[in-house]
Structure 1
Amino acid sequence: MLAVGAFVMAAGQLTVALAPNLSTAVVGRMLVGMGDSFTFISMIRLINGWYQGAKASKVQQYVATVGQLGQFFSAVPFWYMLETLGWTAGFSIMSAASLFISVMVIVFTANEAQSHESRKHNTPSLKLATQQLIENIRNPGIRMSFWTHYVTQPTTTSVALLWAVPFLVTAQGQSHDFAAATLTAMVLFGFVTGPVIGSICACAPQLRATLVYSVVSLTTTAWIVILAMPSRSPSWLLFICFLAISVGGPASMIAFDFSKDMVPRARLGTANGFANVGGFLATFIMMYLTGLVIDLIHGSSGTLERYTVEAFRWGFASQLLVVAVGVVFFTIERRKFEALAAK
């Protein structure tokens, strides 16, 4: 699956490189996203095939943290390559790199930490995968993993993917350089918080739920501070609050730390796939609600004038509702799991 993911991304990047029009480029971008979805869940499953317990907790957090380098390379080196070499050459080089990675995965990786003779790549049937998914959803621990991802990831992702630049530049009056530096700092800050979160999960797994509540409280407080400002916020406050918001990204890995302890290894792939849906579902809900509220306030004129502090105040306030719903369900499933574990 890792090799397939890299190959699909290579195909998508090449499509973007050679796209004669916007529609074709969008198709290429969809392929890149599809390849990425193969990659992340497969990476988590591969790590748990090689490591167990506390070691797995640390390694999957470390690997996820290193994976954030892609955002940094997109923001700085790849942008420079596009400026220097052009669109077609830049994305063609990225496609070649992804294809090379696909080949390396096939040659050098194995699913489990076993001898070469015992390695088997058995692909379950659709019926078996569906049965595993149903069994996982019935497990309150896996549902807790879903809601963990739901409450931790979306605040960070919705900002990084869509709303950071219009909010910082148009609404807050900051420069594009400040917005770029803030987004880059969010990624780099993950290199600090990610290993810390991984170490806590490994050394004190009983604190994982407390950690979820703490991170949600931190990111929510950061938003409330920004939204409570009567007008534009100072640069230093925006920078600090966005760093606080970025903690949600590394914290979302707690979901997979929960799931690895909840089901047999054979069902871990479908369990992680289900948990992973939580964060992205919440992300898309947040992005849509923010845009919807802004349009309701200023109309869908398509002009930048609608991106005001007041519009974003109400738009981002809708995100708090999404998180609140997630916290309620996380708490419910946590109590169900603890009651089941106590029997």
Structure 2
Amino acid sequence: MEEKYTTCSPVSQPIAWLIWAFVTLFYFYEYFLRTAPSVMENELSHFFSISAAGLGSLIGAYYYTYAPLQIVAGVAMDRYGGRKVVPLAVLLCAIGSWLFTMPNLGIALLGRMLIGAGSACGFISVIFIATNWIPRQHLALLTGLTQTLGMLGAILGQKYVVLLMQHHVWQTVWLQCVVAGIGLAIILFFIIPKRPVHVQQRIKAQGYAHVLQNLKLVVCNKQTWLAGIFGGCIFLPTTVLAMIWAVPFFESAYHLSLQKVTSLTSILFIGWIIGSPLMGFISDRLGSRKYVMVLGVLLTFLCVLAIVYIPNLPYYLLLALMFLIGIFSGTELVAIAFTCEANPIFAKGAAIGITNFIIFTFSAILSPLVGVLLNRITGAHALITAQDYQLSFLIIPVCLLLALICILYATEPEAKQDILSMEH
């Protein structure tokens, strides 16, 4: 015997989009908190009397909780629903922001970790809300828009911090974040509907053993791993060519000034901002995740080969290729939509969290590997040439080919209705 029920209270489409917009503000907010310290490093070093290494540990403490709690956040969303989890996550960010202003380094470190813990729910909560109330045909577009708004939070947030710190101490920024977080948490608590009573009763009756069962279901689904590995691989060109090795590589291979290299990295991120929703929109319109992901990874592969292995490309062509890498890398967000649809709807929070964790972990492992290869090729203290970078950067096309194999091996997810069928 089967009983069908919705995962949440039904709402009209205008209200659904309003809910999504406010939850997306949380992602914008947490992205701002993630990147704001980068423009106040001198002030933080002086205030806490710490070295560059100590400052790196303080700022990086965000990731000590952000990464491992991805899965916990996803499972919590499945178990308790958005209304209970999302406002609490925002409050954790607000409390962490307040603690970060304290003169004690240990308390500030704890505050940064609390911000990371709350932020672990940011991206997951937006996609969770979207899959609850917004039709499936918009899922990939909304996933891409979410990433775009997060990056805008980083860009606009840094500019706001710089302007504010011209007239105020750095603590003012974080105290404003406390007020904003408390206000947003209150709004989210009242705007996100409760789950239907029969859903709450069913989940409560299932007990915590069912949580582990759902988690096992997602982990044992090969589609989850294929999408996660794809996402981790497609993000690698951004990490290597824009975040870590951009300046030394382009200075060595193309003899570009720092200003020109900065323009190259900036235009790649502009490509991400445009490409994330664009790839999602195309995927939704075509009704296919695999086709767009295959096309995206192939074109990214060709752009990377051109930049790294074709010598003496003109600067305007480098700009175009970096922009296209950003555009096509937006298929990482299509992979998130893929994994949502490839797993049961009652475990979608766990699916998003686990996939996000795989992507993050894969990127964290692969990115330092370039440095290890450079050391092996040149020796720790040798002058690094363009040819050395070309050899060590071979890991990028190899990983992109791995991403291609993964998505070709994956099965196109079928459309699911937003209802659950569970046996008594």
Q: TM-score range by the shorter chain?
A: 0.7 to 0.9
Structure 1: unaligned runs, 5 residues or longer? 339-343
Aligned to 2:283: 201
Q: Give 2:188's aligned residue.
A: 105
Shift of 1:73: 1.7
Report the identity percentage: 19
Q: Which amino acid aligns with 1:76?
A: K
Alignment of 1:215-294 (within 5 A): 215-230=296-311, 234-294=314-374
How many equivalent residue pairs? 328
Give deviations 1:191-223, integer Å, cap 9, x for gaps: 4323322222222123x2121111111222222
- Higher Rg of the two aligned structures: 2
What does 1:324-343 correspond to in 2, within 5 Å?
Answer: 324-334=401-411
CA drift of 1:252 comes to 1.2
Partner amino acid, structure 2, of 1:275: T
* Unmatched segments (≥5 aa) in structure 2: 1-84, 415-424
Tell me how far apart the structure 1 counterparts of residues 387 and 341 of structure 2 sit (CA, whole Å). Answer: 44
Name the CA shift for 1:149/1:98 in 2 (closer, same or farther; >3 Å): same
Instruction: Provide the C-alpha distance between the structure 1 equivalents of 2:166 and 2:183, rounded to a whole number of angstroms.
Output: 24
Which of residues 144, 149, 164 in structure 2 aligns to 1:66? 149
**How far off is 1:168 after superposition?**
4.6
Q: Deviations over 1:229-284 (max 9, x none)?
A: 446x5432332222122135421121222233333321111112222223212211
CA distance in 2, matches of 1:56, 1:328: 24
For residues 79-99 of structure 1, what are the alpha-carbon distances to aligned partners after superposition, in whole Å with 9 as ceiling and x for unaligned?
443455343333443344334
Task: Decide whether the 8 Å contact of 2:241 with 2:265 is kept in 1.
Answer: no
CA distance in 2: counterparts of 1:20 and 1:306, whole angstroms: 41
Q: Distance in 2 between matches of 1:141 and 1:132?
A: 15
Other structure's SS at 1:334 match? coil
Alpha-carbon displacement from aligned partner over 1:288-337 (angstroms, at most 9, x marks no partner): 11121223344445xxx8565344323322222233333333333339x8
* Matching residue within 221, 230, 238 for 1:156: 238
Q: Distance in 1 between matches of 2:296 and 2:96?
A: 35
String of CA shifts for 1:49-77, please: whole Å, max 9, x gaps: 11132033333333332222122224533
In structure 2, how many angstroms separate the alpha carbons of the residues matched to 1:8 and 1:334?
Answer: 38
Is the contact between residue 65 and residue 250 of structure 1 (CA under 8 Å) also seen in structure 2? no
How big is the alpha-carbon RMSD for the aligned residues of Structure 1 and Structure 2?
3.5
Aligned to 2:92: 8
Contact kept in structure 1, 2:99 and 2:111, CA below 8 Å: yes
Counterpart in the other structure of 1:341 = none
Q: Distance in 2 between matches of 1:234 and 1:94?
A: 44
Change (3 A) 1:25 1:222: farther
Query: Counterparts of 1:81 and 1:179 in 2: how far apart (Å)?
Result: 28
Q: How far has the Cα of 1:130 moved from its partner? A: 2.1
Moved more, 170-179 or 131-140: 170-179
